[in-house]
Amino acid sequence: MRLKDKWALVTGGSRGIGKGICIGLAKEGCNVVLNYVGNRAAAEETVGILQDLGVAAEAIQANVGIRADVERMIAEATASHQLDILVGNAGVVDMQPFLEITPEAWSYQMDTNLLGSFNIGQVMGRYFVDNNISGKIVFVTSFNQEVPNATQGVYSISKSGIKMLAKVMALELAEYGINVNTIAAGAVITDINKKQVEMFPGLVDRLNKIIPLHRWGTVEDMAHAAVYLASSESDYVTGSTIFVEGGIMINNGMMINVVEE
């Protein structure tokens, strides 16, 4: 097992990609602190799955967009064990055409996605440095960090910001032996993009044609990349992005949010 006896904190870990990453880490022997913001039942269900895999697991509520919440969560998580890995996965999207974006929608997405990544990245980075831990930090972004989609402007901007945040962190934390990378996820059907699928009829089938591998991604696909970046196998990888998107970047996104006549 590549991560036996390590401890990871996974934000947004109760459902979707975060849940899949938690399970992938656990299968490699990693103990998990699962962060959630509101759905305690889903978090406890995921904790049970992880424990059934033979690892220690616990859930801590915190809104990553609130600095005090993040500091409390890290203090609570590290009171009884050392954290070795951070997977920043918490994220939200609000589908709005550019001319209809509201200040509230901007703040909602930026506070969780970009500010949340900064909060958790800086607090964990300081923890690693203060405790002389050669930690691994992984942020889950999206191929939208490179290619915007219609109605997903703020989301795309926030993900692009996380990409640069990770590069800045990788540059300045390298001397402490801390690796910082991102996973640019492709199309994966989770709670976060159900509205997108509903808004654009035929999107699932259209993407299956556009994506060179002719299928949507799975949470397991994302978990495989996270395990690699969390393990010693990626010790010489930092400031990089792994695109786990079936090759859709080859087609440059192809204006996926289009309703066929």
Residues with active-site annotation: 155
Q: Would you say 56 and 31 are in contact if contact means Cβ atoms under 8 Å apart?
A: yes
3-class DSSP string for the chain: CCCCCCEEEECCCCCHHHHHHHHHHHHCCCEEEEEECCCHHHHHHHHHHHHHCCCCEEEEECCCCCHHHHHHHHHHHHCCCCCCEEEECCCCCCCECHHHCCHHHHHHHHHHHHHHHHHHHHHHHHHHHHCCCCCEEEEEEEHHHCCCCCCEHHHHHHHHHHHHHHHHHHHHHHHHCCEEEEEEECCECCHHHHHHHHHCCCHHHHHHHHCCCCCCECHHHHHHHHHHHHCHHHCCCCCCEEEECCCHHHHCCCCCCCCCC
Q: Give the whole-angstrom CA distance, residue 31 versus residue 131.
A: 19
> If phi over 0 gives left and psi between -120 and 50 gives alpha, with beta otherwise, what is residue 146?
alpha
Q: Taking each helix axis from N to C terminus, what angle separates 103-110 and 153-173, rounded to the nearest 10 degrees?
A: 30
